[in-house]
Amino acid sequence: MKTLESYKEGTVLLIDKPLNWTSFQVVNKIRWLIKQQFNIKKIKVGHAGTLDPLATGLLILCTGKFTKKIETYQAQVKEYTGTITLGATSPSYDLESEIDQKFDISEISQEDILKNTQQFLGEIQQQPPIFSALKKNGKRLYEYAREGSKIEIPSRSVTIKEFQITKIELPYLEFRIVCGKGTYIRSIAHDFGRSLNNGAHLSSLRRTKIGEFRVEDAIDVFEVEKLIKS
């Protein structure tokens, strides 16, 4: 059984984030459970790398003094698997917003798809989606998006170490990506569609690794209560 002192000194919790939960909701849940268990008013809890609500998978949580390690974990290489849907785009680059354009994919070949992954490898310039929590002029980008405001979003360098299409069943492409800090997989999906002179969006995403941490070693958020009380 973990003691209050162990949570204050620092604990790493590996959580398999469920669909439709925000990363912030997971942090709040864990913080509340620890506070309830030990009848305290405050405990530091943070996560090392946001997952969108529509993504599942590995979320590293740190408690107490280990929250100082969050930046170190955030900087580590990450692995994702998921599905890109060709032939349709959305403003958020995923299914958080409605499909806004559709395209004919009948001329796209398997060879075109596999060949196009090559241009996404290495250090590339990527434009983050406007539906993101990044800030511009002190305001979250998604706030501009919801207002319908058009703003210029600067591109930034990200590193893609591996990009594999693991299954093609048009319009669906299953993939595996290994990438560095700050990469938006939604943007890769969107840009992959454009690279084929077409459109695409991210339709599912799962984070499977952060550095040496694996989702297979993570626990369901609903099992955390048992862990904390055990």
Q: Does the annotation count 52 as an active-site position?
A: yes
Q: How confident is the model at residue 136 (pLDDT cuts 50, 70, 90)?
A: low
How confident is the model over 57-68, as a mean pLDDT?
A: 96
Number of domains the chain is built from: 2
Give the pLDDT of residue 211: 96
Residue 151 has pLDDT above 80, yes or no: no
**189 and 103 housed in the same domain:** yes
Give the pLDDT of residue 229: 77
**204 and 137 housed in the same domain:** yes
User: pLDDT tens for residues 76-104?
Assistant: 999 999 999 999 999 899 998 899 999 99
**Residues 13 and 23: beta-carbon distance below 8 Å:** no
Length of the chain as a residue count: 230
Task: Label residue 229 exposed, middle or buried (CB < 10 Å: 0-12, 13-18, 19+).
Answer: exposed
**216 and 150 housed in the same domain:** no
Give the pLDDT of residue 192: 97
How confident is the model over 131-154, as a mean pLDDT?
A: 63
**172 and 205 housed in the same domain:** yes
How many CA atoms within 13 Å lie on the side-chain side of 196? 32
Residue 145 has pLDDT above 60, yes or no: no
Cβ neighbours of 105 (radius 10 Å): 18
User: pLDDT tens for residues 163-197?
Assistant: 999 999 999 999 999 999 999 999 999 999 999 99
Task: Please name the residue that has the structure tokens 């609903």.
Answer: 222
| Average pLDDT over all residues of the chain | 91
Residue 20 sits in a domain whose CATH number is 3.30.2350.10
Beta bridge partners of 101: 89
**218 and 203 housed in the same domain:** no
**101 and 22 housed in the same domain:** no
**160 and 217 housed in the same domain:** no
| Active-site residue, selected from the candidate residues 52, 94, 104, 112 | 52
Q: pTM here?
A: 0.91
Range of the domain at 124: 78-210
Q: How confident is the model at residue 128 (pLDDT cuts 50, 70, 90)?
A: confident
**85 and 196 housed in the same domain:** yes
Q: How confident is the model at residue 154 (pLDDT cuts 50, 70, 90)?
A: confident
Q: How confident is the model at residue 1 (pLDDT cuts 50, 70, 90)?
A: low
**177 and 83 housed in the same domain:** yes
**123 and 177 housed in the same domain:** yes
Residue 137 has pLDDT above 70, yes or no: no
* 103 vs 135: which has the higher pLDDT: 103
**Residues 37 and 229: beta-carbon distance below 8 Å:** yes
**203 and 221 housed in the same domain:** no
Give the pLDDT of residue 225: 82
**57 and 105 housed in the same domain:** no
